[in-house]
Amino acid sequence: MKIIQCEQRSEEWAEVRRGIPTASAFDRIVTMKGEPSKQRAAYLYELAAERLSGVCEAGFVSDAMLRGIEREQEAREIYAMTSEVEVATIGFCLADDGRYGCSPDGLVGNDGVVEIKSPMGKTAIEYLLKGAVPSAYYQQIQGGLFVTGRQWCDFVSYYPGLPLLALRVTPDIEFHEALARELEAFCKELDSICETIQVRVPA
């Protein structure tokens, strides 16, 4: 794994991850059961367009998402204090072969990683009551563990005025094996698509 120091959501960060699959979208490649996702083809074409055109089309960012981004640093500081750990912020983690990566919300010591979510209040209450990591983040969290090679990930949910929720997740080796297979096939197909399109472009 190669750590690239840059500010997340900056132009440099966008360029580093342009045209390669990232853990936040691994659910578009593989399901929780380790099977190909129905969104696989659309994600292939999206990344091929980024790689060939050099343009990253910005996705929709809601007001709630913006508030979540703004609260991330506060959540990270509270998590570090309550858990008595040191959290290092980084830009991007790139796999050794440079074909995929992830943007963790922090590296914790030598063994951990943290994934922070700042949902709406009603959702934060739901997370606190259930006391379980939402399945919607399964591929992202396991993908981050796969890319970084870390031993655990703390899923953190934070909303001002509510207790901070921190749940530890360890690697699902069986899923990692399926993810490795699907990523290899996905990356090969992505390369093939790009080569095919490049051949058709007049010199």
pLDDT in tens, 7-50: 888 889 999 999 999 999 999 999 999 999 999 999 999 999 99
Rounded (10°) angle between helices 40-53 and 173-200:
50
Residue 125's pLDDT band (cuts 50, 70, 90): very high
Strands in 2-4's sheet, in edge-to-edge order, are 2-4, 92-94, 101-102
Residue 32, domain extent? 2-200
Burial (CB < 10 A; 0-12, 13-18, 19+), residue 78, is middle
Number of domains composing the chain: 1
Higher pLDDT, 68 or 48: 48
Q: What is the pTM of this model?
A: 0.92
Residue 128: give its domain's CATH number. Answer: 3.90.320.10
| CA distance linking residue 18 with residue 69, whole number of Å | 20
**For the residues 163-181, what does the mean pLDDT come to?**
98
Q: Residues 60, 115, 123, CA angle at the centre, nearest 5°?
A: 65
